[in-house]
Structure 1
Amino acid sequence: MAGSRPRQNTMSNSLTFTDLGVPDTLDRLLSAAGVERPFPIQAATLPDALAGRDVLGRGRTGSGKTYAFVLAVLTRLAASATSRRAGRPRALILVPTRELATQIDSVMAPLARALSLRTMVVFGGVAARPQITGLRAGVDVLVACPGRLADHVQAGNAHLDAVEITVLDEADHMADLGFLPTVRRLLERTPHRGQRLLFSATLDSGVDVLVRRFLTNPVTHSVDSTLSPVAAMTHHILHVHADDRFAVLVELTAAPSRTVVFTRTKRGARTLARRLAAAGVTAVELHGNLAQGARTRNLRAFATGEAHTLVATDIAARGIHIDDVALVVHADPPVEHKAYLHRSGRTARAGADGTVVTVMTDGQVAEVRALTRKAGITATTTRLRPGDALLRDIAPGARKVVPQPVPQSPAAGRHEARPAHGGRGQRGDTPAQNSSRRSVSTRSGAAAFSARARSGGRRTGR
């Protein structure tokens, strides 16, 4: 992400990237960025990928898959005798989301420039004309979401017959989002003898069909069990009364640590982010209803520390990496255990520690117990009220604002307890609630920021 620096802790082994075949130029850049030793998925896959073999890499979220394929692609292209041509990328990296595409390119671009290689990102939600211009100028590595790339291919702006290496990242997530038919059509346009690298946390949801159809004698490397919980995570379940839910969320997110809060619905993310901002928390939202410009601005605000709380749907549960996320809060417990593990994987990345909290109301006890059992995690369950000392233990540090819980009517509290439907908007609040919210926002130093967050980062003055 813009504003976030790639960070990777030193591993215990003495293997270096140069030992694996990565050029000295890239090794120096990696070291300067704090990436000094390869992680297991990188050490396992790079030798085979650099030898030109098809690779199937499986590893839990946060295991370092991005550098594993980025370094392989750049090293092989730099050693290739071919040159870039207009509208014909030499390598293709397919990803499920715009945010992941942007993040991969931000990691790859400085490395590519050092090798005189050109990268480009293509996804929907933005104007197509600049993308057409970039494709015509020629690109070595194209990072793309399937839908917009398919549009460019159909329009004749992009041709995939010169692709030497194809990477599918988060392949299982692409399957979950329904992209596999488009992915298959795109892969069929790449040369049959081209190298293919597929990285995925699991092989379900039709990913195995892609492996059998498009990978030739792939070498499989698995790091940790698929979807395994991370030992460095501490898991808490906070059993709260429905009327106390929002106040507890305020206390957790008012801490100075970087926090990601997950909701089930887009409406729920929007409502919660705005209520937190009104309570003095520097919170921004991320969900599919936001325009791409707002999504980019909000992620940048979170990455740079302008906002320290990101309220998101599962759009942020896969692939998005922001340094130093200390706390993940499931404001709405996810529907199934895989989503729990993927969401939780936004913290405790690359060897760091992290804390995961699930906020559970009385009506959610059975589903949360089943969820944690299937996820294979052991969580400490605590029944508490706002102001409990455990909340400061979980999210330590001096609060930047004094938590000012917004009063709720019994009806509003009951609605908050039904996360599958999101929260009620501010329109449903009582005059007393609105008055309290305005008072809190005025008292806090985050009032101006709250206005920008609600407008997706734009200045508001009229």
Structure 2
Amino acid sequence: MQIEAILTRMGISSLNEMQQEVVQSLGTDSDMILHAPTGSGKTLAFLLAALSHFDERKKGVQCLILVPTRELALQIESVAKKVLHGKRTVCCYGGHSTRVEKNALQHSPDILIGTPGRVAHHIRKENFLVDHLNTLVLDEFDKSLELGFEEDMSFIIRELSQLKRRILTSATTMEQIPAFTGVTTPAVIDYLNDDESSPDLTIKRITCKPKEKLNALLQLICFIGSKRMLIFCNHRDAVDHISQLLMNRELVHDVFHGGMEQPDRELSLLKFRNGTSQILITTDLAARGLDIPEVDSIIHYQLPYKEEVFTHRNGRTARMKASGNVFVILTTDEKYDYLPIDLEEQVLDEDIQFPVNSPYMTLHINAGKKDKINKIDIVGYLLKIPGMEKDDVGIIEVKETMAFVAVSRDKAPLAMKHSSQVKMKNKKVKITRS
């Protein structure tokens, strides 16, 4: 295994201690349970473990990675394409075309990443063979159980007769592993209480009357200012209600919850990643396992009922020993046993000054990797526009059939107008506001 080449493609200098321990376990067929917090590099670790079991002489799926959410499947796919260079990866999940997935599976992928329900569907339809499938990864396994995927996972595992290694990952300790997994005498790698990866969190409370909760949230947003923040709610209705509040005050933000169409969910995360949106209002769907950058502050507008969910939400900030702020908004009649009784009260200024919105906005380009378009092409295209400077172009993400680019808000109209006049790599492209 060419670790150095993989590190170069990943843009990192070395493996961390947890990843090194996983690599040291390679070459054995024993099952593994990997406990590590959000942001610790579990994905790279289990992909390295999977890579060690590939047989170049065999065609077809050799590694199956089951995940609880679509977003996590897509995130792992992007990492797998860098780590498992030269291996073909297919991603399957609910909300995606089964016909497109079936066609992709017929081309003998090496790795299949997917949600349990969709993978079970393809196995039942015999859309891919499991004869050479030797490695199974159950990522965020406890979350999959929590979401009710036990029946699908049990069916899938029963169909995999050639498994040599099972890898379970979780950001919480699991005292008992269900028998249907087939995991026996596993090697356990546990970094949940590791000081090197423990977050450095400052948790404060804001106490208010029930009718003043929305106003307290608005005051807190203004107190945090123009920094990246996640606002957690328990219900979609609350997310949409807060969104309307911010929209009325022209505060740029995005929302993320299970009631949204998949493309809209992906776009919300993309805009939060590229900095065009500094505020993301979400349910627990974004509590873990997603490709979200480090955030400055976590706001619990509604607190979860379980302490472990509270922990996962907070894992979105202060990742890998970075510092982070957590704020809990509590009404006078709310009480949660898992909260420390001596939480410091955050005093908010009633004189509200709204934070400045991001100077960038996200534009959509109707061309991508299939059109041989890359980031360099997009930068070159934009910088040829009169009046467009290097600092006007932000983060670019290129997908298979489209691309997204962050552009200065005042220069975005120039880019959209330019697309009707000039071709990109001999292709007429259309640039629109996303």
Partner of 1:82: 57
Residue number among 61, 67, 73 corresponding to 2:50 in the alignment: 73
Aligned length: 361
1:165 has 2:154 as partner: no
Contact 1:162–1:191 (CA under 8 A) maintained in structure 2: no
Richer in helix (by share): 1
Q: Please name the residue that 1:133 is paired with.
A: 103
CA contact under 8 A between 2:64 and 2:135: conserved in structure 1? yes
Question: How many Å apart are 1:315 and its aligned residue?
Answer: 0.8
Could you say which residue in structure 1 is the equivalent of 2:333?
A: 363
Picking from 233, 255, 264, the partner of 1:294 is: 264
Counterpart position of 1:178: 148
Question: How far apart are the structure 2 equivalents of 1:50 and 1:372?
Answer: 44
Q: Which residue of 1 aligns with 2:74?
A: 102
Deviation by residue 1:82-117 (Cα, 9 ceiling, x = unmatched) = 3333xxx1100000001111111112212323xx11
Encode CA deviations 1:55-86: one digit per residue, 9 max, x unaligned. Answer: 11112233221111022223442xx233333x
Question: Is the counterpart of residue 29 in structure 1 residue 9 in structure 2?
Answer: yes
2:355 is aligned to 399
Please state how far the C-alpha of 1:193 moved relative to its aligned partner. 4.1
Partner residue, 1:153: 123
The answer to whether the 8 Å contact 2:199/2:319 transfers is no
SS of residue in 2 equivalent to 1:371: coil
CA deviation profile, 1:271-328 (whole Å, cap 9, x unmatched): 2123223322221111111111111111111111121111111111121131221111
Aligned pair in 2 of structure 1 residues 312, 49: CA closer, same or farther (>3 Å)? Answer: farther
The separation in 2 between residues aligned to 1:217 and 1:361, in whole angstroms, is 47
Distance 2:106 2:343 in 1: 53
Aligned alpha-carbon RMSD (Å): 2.9
How many Å separate the matches in 2 of 1:37 and 1:229? 16
Q: Does 1:64 align with 2:41?
A: yes
- Who is 2:20 aligned against? 43
Relative to 1, partners in 2 of residues 1:175 and 1:98: Cα closer, same or farther, differing over 3 Å?
same
Distance 1:161 1:379, change over 3 A: farther
CA distance in 2, matches of 1:24, 1:215: 31
Secondary structure at 1:198's aligned position in 2?
strand
Choose the corresponding residue for 2:203, options 235, 243, 255. Answer: 235
1:387–1:190 CA distance, 2 compared to 1 (3 A)? farther
Deviation per residue, 1:181-207 (Å, 9 max, x gap): 211111111135421111113354x96
The answer for the alignment partner of 1:208 in structure 2 is 177
Aligned AA (1:372): L
Equivalent residue for 2:418?
none
What is the TM-score with the length of structure 2 in the denominator? 0.76
Find the aligned partners of 2:277 and 2:260 in 1 and give their Cα distance: 17
Match in the other structure for 1:372: 339
Change (3 A) 1:111 1:59: closer
The one of 180, 183, 188 aligned to 1:220:
188
Contact 2:199 2:315 in 1 (8 A): no
CA contact (8 A) 1:95 1:169 kept: yes
Task: Tell me by how many angstroms 1:213 deviates.
Answer: 4.5
Cα distance in 2 for partners of 1:49, 1:265 equals 42
Q: Say whether residues 1:112 and 2:84 are aligned partners.
A: yes
Instruction: Output the amino acid matched with 1:326.
Output: D
Q: Is the 8 A contact 1:236 1:357 kept in 2?
A: yes
Instruction: Kindly indicate whether the alpha-carbon contact (under 8 Å) linking 2:177 and 2:183 is maintained by their aligned counterparts in 1.
Output: no
Q: CA deviation at 1:39?
A: 2.5
In structure 2, relative to structure 1, the CA distance for the partners of 1:253 and 1:67 (3 Å cut) is farther
Range that drifts further, 335-344 or 248-257: 248-257
Deviations 1:372-418, CA, capped at 9 Å, x for gaps: 14xxx973234546349xxx9xxxxx9206xxxxxxxxxxxxxxxxx
1:283, 1:309 within 8 Å by CA — same for their partners in 2? Answer: yes
Deviations, residues 231-271 of structure 1 (Å, cap 9, x unaligned): 41111111123344223323443522111110000111122
Cα distance in 1 for residues equivalent to 2:70 and 2:125 = 21
By percentage of residues, which structure has more strand?
2
One-letter code of the match for 1:23? I
For residues 56 and 168 of structure 1, what CA distance do their matches in structure 2 show? 10
For 2:297 and 2:82, the matched residues in 1 are separated by 30
Task: Give, as a single letter, the amino acid of the residue that structure 1 aligns with 2:177.
Answer: D
Q: Does 1:55 align with 2:27?
A: no
Structure 2 CA distance for aligned equivalents of residues 371 and 251 of structure 1:
25
How far 1:218 sits from its partner (Å)?
A: 1.2
Q: 1:218 to 1:82 in 2, by over 3 A?
A: farther
Inter-partner Cα distance in structure 2 for 1:176 and 1:209:
13
CA contact (8 A) 1:26 1:111 kept: yes
Q: Is the 8 A contact 1:250 1:281 kept in 2?
A: no
Where does residue 274 of structure 1 map in the other structure?
244
CA drift of 1:28 comes to 2.3
Query: Counterpart of 2:302?
Result: 332
Q: Secondary structure at the match of 1:225?
A: coil
Which residue in the other structure is 2:217 paired with? 249
Identity in percent: 27
Bigger drift between 308-317 and 214-223 goes to 214-223
- The equivalent residue for 2:384 is none
Change (3 A) 1:187 1:52: same
CA distance in 1, matches of 2:286, 2:130: 29
CA–CA distance in 1 between the matches of 2:301 and 2:184? 43
Give the superposition deviation at 1:229.
Answer: 10
Q: Structure 1 unaligned runs (5+)? A: 1-20, 393-397, 402-444, 449-457
